[in-house]
Amino acid sequence: MNTKNLLVRWLQAAVIGLLLMGLVAGGVVLGLRLDRQYGLRALDKKFEAMAVPVAVEQSAAAAPDFRAAAQKVIPSVVSIDKYEEVWSFFRTEPGIQQTGSGSGVIVSDDGYILTNNHVIEGAAQVLVHLNDGRVAQAKVVGADPYADLALLQVRERNLKPIELGTSKGLQVGQWVMAVGSPLGYDSTVSVGVVSSLGRTLPSQRGSILVDAIQTDAAINQGNSGGALTDAQGRLVGINTAIASIGGGSIGIGFAIPVDRAQRVVRDITKYGRSRYGTMGVVVDSRPGLLRRDTVRRQLSEQLGAEPPADGLLIREVIAGSVADKGGIRPFDIILDVNGRKIKDSLDFATFQLDSAPGDAATVKFWSRGQTKSVQVRLEDRYAR
């Protein structure tokens, strides 16, 4: 066979090979299309292992439809405007001026609305904008600066309270929906997932977020006090804070768990305020204090013994308090409460937020070279 014939046959084989490759490739695409539409398997057995899982993965990764949940939740979320008294150099009496805005959640038929304390703090007047266009003046029933929650009430009919869920059982990766009025845009819905659970962190206003729900659902200024719900539209948290670089959302938002918020609502409706347990001590909040050489040297000289490196230093014991009666003294160091280690003031604040007046607490503490333990019955934090 001459060279010319060999070249012709080689070209023919190459063309046939390319056509076959095109058919196989077409078969894979067709196989995936048929598999999605009619449940058929891939046409080419060789590519079945690759083709079928791709269709399955696409189906499993499909996001849920939030339309029903949004329609359910939006009527239960309100916009809140805060007005404060503002003095002017040219006026003898203060005027009223809007100084802030946020969101709130209707939690009962009789007009109770749950929001953040920082949304209404310092307000002379609070106006609530309902989803149906009504505007009502709200009464502040009670506020809890410690937990950053407040309860309002409006005298309006035909309100739609939100369905209460639970924050127990939430899982990282679970879909959630945030509803509120970010930057003044009422009835805004954003979706994301639970990014983390059990976050405990202080805020800039002195309140403490305990066991907060972290989410990547977009939360911005104005979302505070709004709803965080599950995919079925049940309330699981109150949107409260964000971690931010320039003031906007970067996908790190935090919500107060609804189970903790419900306790505050119960206290306010029953007592007019939240109730927390306390042992009657003032602690030093500076982080890492007991590991500083100068502090350790001063304490050792004053107390006659070297203090432990971990624990919480007591600055003051309130006279007549349960701590005072239990023998706890200034410059003693709290080591643990009820078996839970107290490493810093945040741990201690969490213990107090989780406690109620009348609860028993076993306090282990270091005092002038000795480790002691005493059981106390907690008092009402705000009764004094």
Contact 98, 156 (CB under 8 A): no
Residue with tokens 């200034």: 330
> Considering 101, 103, 118, 355, which one is annotated as catalytic?
118
The arithmetic mean of pLDDT across residues 19-25, rounded, is: 38
Is residue 80 within 8 Å of residue 115, measured between CB atoms?
yes
Q: Which residues contact 280 (CB under 8 A, 6 or more apart)?
A: 317, 318, 320, 321, 322, 323, 324, 379
Checking if the pLDDT of 256 tops 90, the result is: yes
> What does the pLDDT average to over 309-315?
95
3-class state of residue 140 by DSSP? strand
- In the set 35, 81, 144, 148, the catalytic residue is 148
- Is 118 known to be catalytic? yes
Q: Is the pLDDT of residue 372 over 60?
A: yes
282-297 average pLDDT score = 92
H helices of the chain, in order, are: 3-38, 48-60, 67-73, 117-120, 258-271, 293-303, 322-325, 345-353
Output phi, psi for 281, to 5 deg: -130, 155
Among residues of the chain, what percentage have pLDDT more than 90? 70
> CB–CB of 248/220 below 8 Å?
yes
> Is residue 213 a contact partner of residue 194, using CB atoms and an 8 Å limit?
yes
Q: Is 224 a catalytic residue?
A: yes
Q: How many residues does the chain have?
A: 384
Residue 178 in tokens = 């945030």
Q: Are 88 and 145 spatial neighbours (Cβ–Cβ below 8 Å)?
A: no
pLDDT at 196: 95
Q: Catalytic: which of 224, 249, 274, 345?
A: 224
pLDDT tens digits for range 192-220: 999 999 998 887 666 888 899 999 999 99
What domains, with CATH codes, occur in the chain? 15-53 (no CATH), 76-153 (2.40.10.10), 175-271 (2.40.10.10), 277-380 (2.30.42.10)
